Structures are given as structure tokens and as C-alpha cells.
Amino acid sequence: MVIGNIERLSDATKLSAHVTRILGQNPGLMTLQGTNSYLLQPPSNPHAPLILIDTSSPHTANQYVDLLLVHLHHLGLESGTRETHFESNVAKASLSNLPEDQVDQVKASLVAERAENGRADELMLVEYGPGSKWTATYHVTANGSTNSSERKLPNIEHIILTHRHLDHVGALPTLLRALKSHGCPPPKLWKFPSPDEAELCASERDRPTSDAEIWQSLPAGTYQSFSPLQPFHPIIPGLMISIIDPVYRHLLKHDKDGKPKWNEVPEIARVSVRCLRTPGHTQDSVSLVMLEGEKGVFTGDTVLGQGTTTFLDLASYMTSLRTLLALKPNVLYPAHGPHIPNAKESRAHLEEYITHRQIREDQIVNILQKLSARTTSDGNPNNLTSILIDLKRAIHAQAEADNAAKAPLMVDRRKAIPMPDFEDEKASLERAEKEGTRPQAAVPMSVLCRLLYKSEDERLIFAASKSVGAHLVKLEKEDKARRGRARWADLAGKEVGELVEVETWEYVGPPEQAEAEAKETKEKKD
Ligand SMILES: [Zn+2]
């Protein structure tokens, strides 16, 4: 997660010969510049079919689909594929030079020639003009002319979903409807079946991202179903999804078992991805390894271009990060944020993710250990109220410093706000300590997140609590932390509210480790 300035990305960017990034138009705190959806196409032919990886959020579906279609239009133009029609002034002028009885014959022979070679370019007939529409197929009418107002749009043959989250799958219904209305053939949808489908369906919050709910959102007849009961084509680890430029398809040979020999087709005329399971962010997360060109890896939300991601299961998440590192990717194409353009930076990026998690875990253990101690390192009684009031003071001081740095640039020259005395908060916290049921060593989750991130920003705390929670679950499995419940103050942003039941955590790991660490910090101090 990143707060503050993030690099600006263009709406549609060709990142390599095979890969174009289309922004989801859904920027936000969690989505950074918006979801990156990627179009993959063999570079040999802008009119070749495409693979689309991920879409956008439901609320930005229209903007995203418009942008995607414009890009497909551009590919159609680039391809130089022409349709034949005879209504332009230039065409009419050319045809008017012919004897009248030959006009139909000439028209028919031109249509035949174009049908043979869509890029034949011998006659100045109208190709694209205002009001012309795109279509996926040529409509040759009875009199031999094609429908004058329709053009051909390259097909999206496969849509691969890296995982179930709505900012990746939410624009799917709108996209499928739009493709159908443009006459495109229905694509195949690929997704790893959610292993926790039953839990997702049972949870009110997660239900919209269950396979069943996503299926139900898809308009009938707009995609190629895997089976009547299963719209998604299931992703199996190791599965390869590929596109071959139709112009080169005759080069594709098969071995005696009927397996296609992709390598016989020049690299420029194909694009393919191999699917890899990388659970952790969600249980159904996959990454996709491109087999051509720069052999980049599409990481979904497992790795982002900037900041860190959230995860449900830390242990499997760490395994997934190590799997990605072992692939030695040359390029990382994350689902949010800029791509990582070379092998050295990709490696460093993945290693940073791994060490970041380790550091975070150490910090959590450290805070839990400190708070579980009866006295602070300088011998005073351990007092949660004063720790939290000190944090409030530090946050205020930081805000003032930021304000002072910006003030000269502001029209109104912001003035400093006097430091609040926090007496109300202090009284409420003291009451919570007295009337609540918090055991000395057990820390409410909200306190842990505040101390960890040194912030009271409710959105940040909410987002952080998920990853902190995953760390705690891992520590719990390793018998280092214990979960509990207690009545304590409800913390919401800067407010200290009434007593409520909250989740608490305490350190129960090996004491020798705690002692060793305490000794180490003491030695460092000395
Ligand atoms: Zn996600």
C-alpha cells in the first residue's frame, strides 16, 4: 500500500512487443493507479487474436471498456486490414469510369480478392470514415458488396483472471456485453477455482467474489462456457494458454501424440503464458509466465509495482514469493503500479518483498513483547495509556512538521495548530483500563496497528489490520502468539470510544528468545 505521491501511468501503454497495459480507470488507495489489465498479442500481426489478463472494477467498467475498445480499434487500423465497399466519392468516381455492364463484375472480383487477402491495397475505396462501425466479421451481401459501415475488430480469444477480487473481475459483464455488441466471437474465461469457495459464499463480505457470484454476473451467451455447469475454464498449474497469428498457423506442427509443437512457429507470431499457482494474496491467485519475448511474469496482486500487498495466508504467500524469485523473471508485470523492467530490479523487488515481511514480523513480535513486560526498559511501570498518548503527540508533531514544510507554498499560509492536551482521550483510556477486562500482556489489535504504523488514519489501520492479522495467525500457528477477547475502548481514528469487545493478542513465544532480544537491544544501547 502506498499513500502519497504515486507515479502517473498512461491509460494505454505498449510495454514490449507482446504486451500492452490498459489501465482500469479505477485509481484508489488500494488499487494505486488503478488495475493494470494486460493485452497480449503476437507482434507479427496487429489483427491477431489477443489474450486479456484481468479487467477492472464494476464502478469503472464503462470507462475501462471504452478505453479497451479504442485500443482494439487502433490495432485494427494498424493492421491495415481493409474491408471493401463502394460508397465513397473516390470509389464512385473510379467505378464511374467503367462501362456500366462491367461495374458489378469488377465489384465482385474486388470482393473476392479482398476475401483472399484482407490487406490487398490496390483500389482507393473508402476504408474508415466517421460513422463507420466495427465488426468482427465481414458481411458480404447478396449483391457481392460488403456492408459499407462495418469494420473488423481484433478478437479477444482468452480472458485470464489472476484472482477473484472485484477490481479484477468486476468489469467482466460490461466487457463481455460490449464485445458481443461489436460482433466479436465469445472469449474463453480462465480462472483458478477458488479452493475456499464455501467460505466465500458463507461470508457476506466475500460472497460477491465467490466463483458462483462472478458466474451469475456474466450475461448469458457472451462467453464460451467450459461446461453447462462451469462457465470458467479451470486453470490447472502448468497449463499453457496461447495465441498463434492466423497468418502463420500453417507452420504449427504436431508430434505423434497430437501435441502442438509451438517452437516450430517463429516467436514473433505467437504469444503464450504458462499458469502458476501463487496463493497467499487470495487462495485462488495465479501468476502467468510469458514464454516469448522478454519472458515476463504477470504477478496479479501477489507482487505490486509499488508498496506492499495484502494477503490472507502469510505462510503460503511467502512460499509464492520464493517461487516467483526462483523463476528469475526478466520483467514483472504487476496488477497495480508500474512494471519492473529488468531481471536485476525484478530480483531486488521480490527480495524486498520477502525481507519486508520478515521485518514486519519482527516488529510485531517486538511490540507484543514490550507491551507484555511489566515494566519498561527504563524501569517504569508499563502503561498503555501513556504509550498511546505519546503516540498521539508524535503524530501531531509530525503533522505540524509536514504543515510547516508546505505552508510557504500555500496561499493561506497555514498556521500551526497548538498541541492538543489529549486530556479527554487520556481519561477515556484510563477508564477503559480500569473498567475493561484487558489482561496486562494482551494488546488490542487496533493498538498494535497504531503502534506499528505510527498512525491513527482509520483507512490505513483498516487496511493494515488485514496483513498484521495474517502475521499474527502465522505466529499463532508457530505457538508464539495467543489470541483472546477483552472489553476495552473502541478506537476509531483519533477518537477513544466506549467499551466494546475487541480482539487482543499477546506474546507467548519462548521466553529465552524474548530475553535474548532484550539483552541484544540493551547491548546495542550500551
Ligand atoms: Zn486482489
All cell numbers assigned to 166: 472485484
All cell numbers assigned to 55: 479487467
Please give the distance, rounded to the nearest whole angstrom, from the Cα atom of residue 350 to the centre of ligand 1.
Answer: 18
Mean pLDDT rounded to a whole number for the chain: 84
C-alpha to C-alpha distances, 177 to 24, 157, 401, 407, nearest whole angstrom: 17, 15, 52, 50
Please give the distance, rounded to the nearest whole angstrom, from the Cα atom of residue 35 to the centre of ligand 1.
Answer: 9
Q: Distance (Å, rounded) from C-alpha 72 to C-alpha 70?
A: 5
Please give the distance, rounded to the nearest whole angstrom, from the Cα atom of residue 166 to the centre of ligand 1.
Answer: 8
Please give the distance, rounded to the nearest whole angstrom, from the Cα atom of residue 355 to the centre of ligand 1.
Answer: 21
Tell me the pLDDT tens digit for each residue of 379-415.
Answer: 677 788 888 898 999 999 998 888 888 777 777 666 7
DSSP string of 286-304?
Answer: EEEEE-STT--EEEETSS-
Strand, coil or helix: what is 412? Answer: coil
C-alpha to C-alpha distances, 109 to 85, 97, 104, 302, nearest whole angstrom: 12, 17, 9, 55
Q: Distance (Å, rounded) from C-alpha 507 to C-alpha 2?
A: 29
Please give the distance, rounded to the nearest whole angstrom, from the Cα atom of residue 239 to the centre of ligand 1.
Answer: 22
Strand, coil or helix: what is 156? Answer: strand
Phi and psi for 495 in degrees, rounded to 5?
-80, 145
Q: Report DSSP state, residue 144.
A: S
Please give the distance, rounded to the nearest whole angstrom, from the Cα atom of residue 198 to the centre of ligand 1.
Answer: 19
Please give the distance, rounded to the nearest whole angstrom, from the Cα atom of residue 190 to the centre of ligand 1.
Answer: 16
Please give the distance, rounded to the nearest whole angstrom, from the Cα atom of residue 162 to the centre of ligand 1.
Answer: 9
Please give the distance, rounded to the nearest whole angstrom, from the Cα atom of residue 67 to the centre of ligand 1.
Answer: 22
Contact 188, 194 (CB under 8 A): no
Please give the distance, rounded to the nearest whole angstrom, from the Cα atom of residue 284 to the centre of ligand 1.
Answer: 10
Please give the distance, rounded to the nearest whole angstrom, from the Cα atom of residue 159 to the centre of ligand 1.
Answer: 17
Please give the distance, rounded to the nearest whole angstrom, from the Cα atom of residue 174 to the centre of ligand 1.
Answer: 20
Please give the distance, rounded to the nearest whole angstrom, from the Cα atom of residue 241 to the centre of ligand 1.
Answer: 22
Please give the distance, rounded to the nearest whole angstrom, from the Cα atom of residue 285 to the centre of ligand 1.
Answer: 8
Please give the distance, rounded to the nearest whole angstrom, from the Cα atom of residue 195 to the centre of ligand 1.
Answer: 16
Please give the distance, rounded to the nearest whole angstrom, from the Cα atom of residue 176 to the centre of ligand 1.
Answer: 21
Phi and psi for 211 in degrees, rounded to 5?
-55, -45
Please give the distance, rounded to the nearest whole angstrom, from the Cα atom of residue 152 to the centre of ligand 1.
Answer: 34
Please give the distance, rounded to the nearest whole angstrom, from the Cα atom of residue 247 to the centre of ligand 1.
Answer: 37
Please give the distance, rounded to the nearest whole angstrom, from the Cα atom of residue 432 to the centre of ligand 1.
Answer: 37
Give residue for cell 506474546.
507
Please give the distance, rounded to the nearest whole angstrom, from the Cα atom of residue 281 to the centre of ligand 1.
Answer: 7
All cell numbers assigned to 382: 508499563
Please give the distance, rounded to the nearest whole angstrom, from the Cα atom of residue 109 to the centre of ligand 1.
Answer: 54
Please give the distance, rounded to the nearest whole angstrom, from the Cα atom of residue 62 to the centre of ligand 1.
Answer: 20
Q: Distance (Å, rounded) from C-alpha 95 to C-alpha 376?
A: 95
pLDDT average per 10 residues of sequence, the chain (526 residues): 65 94 88 92 92 96 93 79 61 80 82 65 44 42 44 86 96 94 90 95 93 94 91 94 89 86 89 95 96 94 88 91 95 95 95 93 90 73 84 90 78 76 87 86 89 89 86 91 91 86 88 55 55
Q: Distance (Å, rounded) from C-alpha 485 to C-alpha 406?
A: 43
Please give the distance, rounded to the nearest whole angstrom, from the Cα atom of residue 466 to the centre of ligand 1.
Answer: 13
Q: Quick one: which H or E segment has residue 61?
A: helix 61-79
Strand partners, 243: 271
Tell me the pLDDT tens digit for each residue of 456-510.
Answer: 888 888 888 888 998 999 999 889 999 999 999 888 888 888 889 999 999 987 7
Please give the distance, rounded to the nearest whole angstrom, from the Cα atom of residue 1 to the centre of ligand 1.
Answer: 12
Please give the distance, rounded to the nearest whole angstrom, from the Cα atom of residue 127 to the centre of ligand 1.
Answer: 42
Please give the distance, rounded to the nearest whole angstrom, from the Cα atom of residue 197 to the centre of ligand 1.
Answer: 16
All cell numbers assigned to 195: 479452493
Please give the distance, rounded to the nearest whole angstrom, from the Cα atom of residue 40 to the centre of ligand 1.
Answer: 21
Please give the distance, rounded to the nearest whole angstrom, from the Cα atom of residue 192 to the centre of ligand 1.
Answer: 14
Q: Where are the domains of the chain?
A: 12-78+154-341, 81-151, 371-405+414-525
Q: Distance (Å, rounded) from C-alpha 497 to C-alpha 487?
A: 12
Phi and psi for 484 in degrees, rounded to 5?
-155, -175
All cell numbers assigned to 341: 523492467
> C-alpha angle with apex 447: 442 to 449, nearest 5 degrees?
115
Spell out the residues 6+ positions from residue 216 whose beta carbon is closer than 8 angstroms to its own. Answer: none
Please give the distance, rounded to the nearest whole angstrom, from the Cα atom of residue 57 to the centre of ligand 1.
Answer: 11
Return the CATH number of 12-78+154-341, one of 3.20.10.10, 2.60.40.1240, 3.60.15.10, 3.80.10.10: 3.60.15.10
Nearest CA to 82 among 129, 114, 48, 43? 114
Please give the distance, rounded to the nearest whole angstrom, from the Cα atom of residue 269 to the centre of ligand 1.
Answer: 32
Spell out the residues 6+ positions from residue 434 whose beta carbon is closer than 8 angstroms to its own. Answer: none
Please give the distance, rounded to the nearest whole angstrom, from the Cα atom of residue 17 to the centre of ligand 1.
Answer: 27
